[in-house]
Amino acid sequence: MAADRYLSFTGTAPGRFLTRRLGLPQPVPLSRWSPQRPRLEGTLRHLVAGDGEPDPALDAVLARTGLRSAEETTTAPVAAVVLDATGVRDVAALAGVHAALHPVVRSVAASGRVLVLGAPLDPADHHQAAAQQALEGFTRSLGKEIGRGRTVNLVRLTDPGAAESTLHFLLSPRSAYVSGQVIEVGTATGAAAPHPEGPRTALVTGAARGIGAAVAETLARDGARVVVLDVPSAGADAERLADRLGGSALALDITAADAGDRIAAALPDGLDVLVHNAGITRDRRLVNMDAERWSSVVDVNLASVLRTTDALLAGGTLRPGGRIVATASIAGLAGNAGQTNYAASKAGVAGLVRALAPRAREAHGVTVNAVAPGFIETRMTAAVPLFIREAGRRMNSLAQGGRPEDVAETVAWLAHPGSGAVNGQVVRVCGQSLLGA
């Protein structure tokens, strides 16, 4: 990865002075998960807007995050603010959102969290739907102005218990680069319990290096037995990583017609987590793009995902309670000049997730979600020309690039046994990119 010298400079006294005078971005180094810092440090303030009182079930879930409840009268910085806005049912009640958060936003510590809890939109009540949809614009806007490495997200939920893994993720250092997101959490009904015997088995494609390697490492840290899949030319790297993680390597071209069958044969005892990470770019503007550049990208990034997913579901390799996590991209959501092939493939991944998720859960007890990375500091982005790289880093609410572990932590949350109520979601890991929705 290329060093972010601007981020380092803004951490100095001259850097802070100069960037403030010139109105330049002032990124704050993010506090990410580590064994020494597994949770946010500080207290949590739980507020309510709209009708109703604090929910004891939600209180219990929040207590298990390890964050202590802040005293009502404290003026000290807090690590997180959770606003329960599930009872906001009309426009008048939106005033309660302002009244609750206006006095406390400044008290959120650097790299802290603001989490707004909303309710599903009621199609039979357009006043409730309007008020709840308003929370989305509010959340995204607050995320773009709050600064100091703090994140703001909205979770639409019906059952706090089913949302526990999601609340723990968003209220932890693991979600450092996830902001401005709207995540819908249903109920866990229909998602069978994970395979009870031994550790879960996880397969990560394109895992020999970069983001895929970080995903494999994070899943192994969380107790999974990881199969590191990559093309034969990356076999040595895949073997070394698998040996270090106590897993196994599988040399395979994921675009092969029989890739799904070969994966199933390598996993006779079944699979619990399937992470589609393999991907390539072949950038050219459309007028200069030949058919091979188009087809190779679409085949690796989308067609292979469809083929292998279909084969592993149909053959029963993915066990009930399983998780499929695919890799989309903000390029697929917002578009990117010179990447019509890549953006098409990644938008296709989002379409796959949204269409397959309800059917896979109903028929197989398997959830299907996706991560959509933004500018992530990898060897590939380190090779991008300086000014383009700097634009990619600064054009998000956190004013810095993400790291492979940011994507990996998000995958690990979606792959968690307790995340059965999270289904059909495409979660951007982009620091709330200023491009696109």
Residues annotated as catalytic are 342
**CA–CA distance, 50 with 138 (Å, rounded to integer):** 15
Three-state secondary structure of 142-162? HHHHCCCCCEEEEEEECCCCC
Half-sphere exposure of 305 (CA within 13 A, CB side): 31
How would DSSP label each residue in 293-320? HHHHHHIIIIIHHHHHHHHHHHTT-EEE
For the chain, the distance separating the N- and C-terminal CA atoms, rounded to the nearest angstrom, is: 27
Backbone CA torsion sign across 190, 195, 199, 203: negative
Residue whose structure tokens are 């959509």 = 372
Q: Nearest-CA neighbor of 43 among 69, 63, 76, 74?
A: 69
Q: DSSP string spanning 247-274?
A: -EEEE--TTSTTHHHHHHHH-TT-EEEE
How many other CB atoms sit within 10 Å of the CB of residue 320? 16
Return the structure tokens found at 320: 């009930």
How many CA atoms does the CB half-sphere of 249 hold within 13 Å?
23
Amino acid symbol at 286: L
Q: How far apart are CA 229 and CA 272, in angstroms?
A: 15
